[in-house]
Structure formats: structure tokens, C-alpha cells
Structure 1
Amino acid sequence: MVFRWIGTVLGAGALVAACLGLAVRYLPVTDHVMVILTSASPYLMLAAPVAVVLLALSRRWVPVVLAVVAMLVVVAVRIPLYTGPETRQAQTTPVRVMTANLGMGRADARATAATARDLADVLVVQEMTPEAQAGLSATGVDRDFPYRVVDPRDVASGIGVWSRHPIVESAPVDGYAMPMLEVRLRVPGVAFDPTVLAVHLAAPWPAPIDAWRRDVERLPATLRTLALDAGSGAVIVAGDLNATVDMLPFRRLLDNGYRDAAEQAGAGMSRTFPGQRRVPPPLLGIDHVLVRLSSASSLQRVPLPGSDHMGLVVGVDVPLNPTVS
């Protein structure tokens, strides 16, 4: 009898945790409490199968049914993150994009440049200080990626794009807490020049959340404008969005044909932060690549020694003759 009551209490607690993890995914992120809860959402949802087992052992059959329903909803929510690459278009060319938050310029320049040299065609960096830019240039990154638009700044505000493909247009994107860059690339064989948007949104924690809210609420309009300007050209958005897939404001970015590369490639949560140590491993996926009129066929995390983030390298299949969907 004692075991049954203990199992009931623990099972009910696990069911509440799982339901909370599901519920917060569909609520606005308005304060630090919601930042914490939405960040913890995937881990709270893991309590659903625990609830099923505990309540079944306690023979609480009505709560068991509720727990099973919660578990099925959790599965429906998480499975799309792991289902793998979709059918690729027949005529495409690969463009490998690496996004790297340099951790206020502290990332090891030689290691970052070596990873980009081996794996990327386009390198997008955030938190690039003047010293970090100089360090990257000293490694020969300017030779390996001969086209660049860089805006180094102190502390966390610098941003830059290096490319193996010619950059035919570039412009800053104003109105955000930190600088962003829009560049257009000339990729051989591609009829319409792809656009790359280098993004870094304000952090929602531990600073006041207001700047992040303004940034993430403004970004959908920027992405709509970008899509209109790009026309039939592919769009690739890369950087530190300081948001996870379980935050409603992030999923609102997936409109006008934009897709999350991690989901499209079946790469799961793609956790990149904090990235300093293997133990504990990164817990949050806040660095992202979004694609439009193109498709992500692969995604891998890469270490950035010295940074508090891991980097992402995404293989993007850019159609040779894309059409607006």
C-alpha cells in the first residue's frame, strides 16, 4: 500500500512535469521564468514515460491513460527532429555553411579557421572582436575564404562573413541590439544568387529580456523582406538566435518557406550551449541555420575551443534553378 501511494505521488509529479514541458512550448516567452521553463521543456517531457511506468505499477488506470496520451504527444512533437533528410531536389549544388559564436572573441583562432577550412564554404561568425578578426586573418582564413564582409566590435557585438564564393552585394541590417549582415553570393551554376543573413540576437538571460523580445519579434518581418528581396534565390540564415526550438518565438520564424536546418536534416536538438566542456555536455540548441528555397542535407556540431558555444556546419543543397514555393 505504501509503495502504491509513493508510486502514485511520483507518477503524478512526473505527469505534471511532462504536461508543463509540453504546455510552455505554446506560450509567449515574456520573462526569465518562461526562458527557463522553455529551455527545460525537452527535459521535462522526458518525464512522460516515467509517469506511465510509475502509475501503471501503482495501478492508477485513469492517470495511466492520461500519461500515455501525454507520452504520445511528446513523441509526435519530438519525432520530426530526428526523421532525417527529406527527398532532395534533382539539380542542386552544395554550399557548406559554418556558424561560430567566438565567445567574445576568445575562441581559438587557429582551431576555428582549421575547422572552417576543412568543412565550410561560408563562415559566419558572431562575437568577433578586432583581436579575434586579426587572429583569424593571421591563420590564413582570408586566403582560404577570399571574399569577406566583417564588422569587428568590442565584447559581443562583432559579426562577419567569409566566403569561398564571390560576395556580390552586402549590407548591414539595422534595428537590432547587435549588428547583422546580409550578403549575396555568386555560386557557380546557380541561376539566382543565394542570400546569407548573419544573425546574432540579444541574449534573454541573464540580462533583462526586453532586448531579446524586441529582436525576436522583429526578425519575422526581416525574414519576410529578405524573402521578397531574394525572389527565386535561396536564403540561408545563420547565427546565434539565443532561442531553442521549444520557444514559440523561434517557431514563428519558420514562415514564408523557412525551415530549421536541424529538423530538416534530422539532427535532433543540435545542442550548442554551453560548449566549454564535455561534462556536462551542451544542454541548449541556440545556434541555428534556417533555409529557404534550399534544403539542409546534413548538420554537424563542431568544437570551438575557447568559446562557450559549439559551432554548426550545415550542408545546404541550393537548387540550380529554384522556384518560389
Structure 2
Amino acid sequence: MTVDARHAIHTGRPAKTAWQRGRLLALGSVLVALLLVGHEYVPNRWGNLGSLVQSFLPWLGLAVPLGILAALLRRSALAVLAVLLPLAAWIWVFLPQIRAEATPPGDLTVVQHNVNAANSDVAGTAEVILAAEPDVVTLTEVPFDLAEKYDEALTEALPYHQSEGTVGIWSRYPLKGVRPVDILDESWNRCLRAVVEHDGANVVLYAAHLPSVRVGSGGFETEERNAGALRLADAVQAEKDETVVVAGDLNAVLADDAIAPLTNLVTAPTTGFEFTYPAVFPVAQIDHVLARGATVTDVRALPRTASDHLPVVAHIDTPWS
């Protein structure tokens, strides 16, 4: 005798059918589908709820297998049918990212890595970076006492180097016009601008580390990061050179509308899920290489180093290629 039948005997009510059971499960599936297709309408109130939802948006797809399991346990045909809604919503939102596309190799290879101040394995980190054969490397969170060791490890392949604060740029090509960019305050330099000279053309490069976000008593705390993104966007928008590359740890996914002032100015690859943080089990891509006036044809995560972030390598198709 089923649980519903026993309940019907005790209560004197008829047992629920498969189409009557699991109404709450079905409602949950509907809500997940609405979040997927309407995430940009979730307000950034109540502790920046909108940014939090957008940061982990792909993982809402887990509602599908969990919903199917719960529906089977509940023996609810209604809940099984309702699970099709978040499945369809997830496919509609993320199909462009999972569709395989042939991409040109590009003519400028950039590696970005938050090396982590607690990472003392400079040689191992440099080995992973150089294996990608980069033309330019941007590093963030470089500890002051290891900056010289990173320079020694990278300078043979990338002889042109500039650092400021905890941010560094190493390049195969000459650098000019190097200066810090104030995106937080003058006491901590977290952004460096340089012009990379390549084949008689210029690429303006920003190596940036936006402030971290926290989940605390106030919810998803993003105010400093958002302010830094706005300052970085102002700097990029003011550039007169057409080709601009932004590489760094932005502490945000590109879907987060809170950093739209920056992401509206640049483009990124439309395919792939290259989660970069935390390195032990990546759940979000917060390390990026973006471009204006050029095309980032491909971004992929590199093997793990001793950092809590994965490095990423990007191939960029520049106007002169």
C-alpha cells in the first residue's frame, strides 16, 4: 500500500493522482525557469541579489536532474513535466556557449593569472604560463617579495616588463606609455596601463584586479568592485586608440549587470564555460581577457598552479592580422 493510499484511509480523502502530487516541486521548476530567462530583471536589492544570481547562473541547471529525482521519488507526473521548463530555459540561454564553433587562432596570445599572494611556487607557476607560448602575460596579486622572482622566471621569453603595486605585465614586444590607473585608491595600485607595440601598430593593454566581493551579513557585498569597474570603464572609454585589451581578475562574471559599464565597451568569446575560481573546484569565471577594436577568438583555462585561481589564455585577432 502506498503512502498516499494509507493517508487517504486515515483522512477519509481520496488519494492524489500523479497529476495532483508534486505541486510545490512544479512551482520550484517554474521559478528556476523564470530566473534563467529573466535574470537581468532580478533587482540588486536585498544584498545585491541580482549579482548573486547572475554569478552562478549556469549552475541553476542542476535544478533539472534534482527536479527529476524529486519528481520520481514523489511519483509526480506534474513535477516531471514541469522540469522541462528549466531544461528548455537553460538550453535557450546557454546554447550559444555550448555550440562548437571553429575559431581563428588570432595573432596575439595573452595569458592572465591571479597568482595569489600566498603562492610561493614561482617556478611552477611560470612553467604553466610559458607552456601556453604567450606574447603578453598579465599577473595580478603578485606579492612584493616575489616580484623579482617572477621577473627572473619570465624575462627570457618575455623581455619587456613593467610592474606597479601587485600588478605586472610581461611582453614579447616593447611596452610604452606605462602608468598606473586609479581604480580603488592611491594607496594600492591594482591596475596598470601599457601600450604594446607590435608590427608597427599599438594595442592599449589594461591589466586590472578589481576589488573582491564577499558574502556577509549585508548579503553579496560588491560596492567596491562595482566602483572599480566604473573607474576602469571610464579609462577604457577615454582611450583614443581603437584597439584596447582588458585582462585581469575582475571578480565578476560577464553576465553580472553590475559591471555592465565596462562589459558594454568590450567583447568576449561567446562559447565555452571556462570557470576559473576557486581552482580546486571552479564554479565561476572571474578571470577574463576582453577587447575593443579586436576579436577575442578563444579563451580557455590552463592547468592548475599553486594559486586559488586558474590561469586563462586568450587568442586575439587584431586588426592588422
Query: TM-score w.r.t. structure 2 length?
Result: 0.79
Could you list the per-position Cα deviations for residues 166-195 of structure 1 after superposition, in whole angstroms to 9, with x for gaps in the alignment?
11221211142552111111112xx53111
Aligned residue number for residue 197 of structure 2: 186
The residue type equivalent to 1:124 in the other structure is T
Larger radius of gyration: 2
Aligned residue number for residue 128 of structure 1: 142
Moved over 6 A (4+): none
The residue type equivalent to 2:60 in the other structure is L
SS state of the match for residue 316, structure 2?
strand
Alignment of 1:34-45 (within 5 A): 34-45=50-61
Return 5+ residue gaps in structure 1 as ranges.
Answer: 153-157
Aligned residue number for residue 155 of structure 1: none
Give the Å deviation of 1:47: 2.6
* Alignment pair present for 1:12 and 2:23: no
Alignment of 1:1-325 (within 5 A): 1=16, 4-29=19-44, 31=47, 33-47=49-63, 54=71, 58-60=76-78, 64=81, 71-85=87-101, 94-106=107-119, 108-119=121-132, 120-139=134-153, 141-152=154-165, 158-177=166-185, 178-188=189-199, 191-206=200-215, 208-226=221-239, 229-231=240-242, 234-256=243-265, 258-261=266-269, 263=270, 266=271, 268-275=272-279, 277=280, 281-320=281-320
| Percent of paired sites with the same residue | 23
CA contact (8 A) 1:24 1:34 kept: yes
CA contact (8 A) 2:277 2:286 kept: yes
SS state of the match for residue 161, structure 1?
strand
Could you list the per-position Cα deviations for residues 245-276 of structure 1 after superposition, in whole angstroms to 9, with x for gaps in the alignment?
331124453324x2113x2xx2x22100001x
Give the Å deviation of 1:138: 3.7
CA distance in structure 2 between the partners assigned to 1:108 and 1:150 by the alignment: 19
CA distance in structure 2 between the partners assigned to 1:135 and 1:290 by the alignment: 28
Q: CA separation of 1:168/1:213 partners in 2, compared to 1, >3 Å: closer, same or farther? A: closer
Q: CA separation of 1:165/1:249 partners in 2, compared to 1, >3 Å: closer, same or farther? A: same
Give the Å deviation of 1:11: 2.7
CA distance in structure 1 between the partners assigned to 2:119 and 2:42 by the alignment: 35
Give the Å deviation of 1:78: 0.8
Give the Å deviation of 1:67: 6.2
Q: CA separation of 1:181/1:167 partners in 2, compared to 1, >3 Å: closer, same or farther? A: same
CA distance in structure 2 between the partners assigned to 1:161 and 1:47 by the alignment: 42
CA contact (8 A) 2:112 2:248 kept: yes
SS state of the match for residue 202, structure 2?
coil
CA contact (8 A) 2:159 2:170 kept: yes
Give the Å deviation of 1:320: 0.9
CA distance in structure 2 between the partners assigned to 1:107 and 1:83 by the alignment: 38
CA contact (8 A) 2:42 2:49 kept: no
CA distance in structure 2 between the partners assigned to 1:181 and 1:84 by the alignment: 34
SS state of the match for residue 170, structure 2?
strand
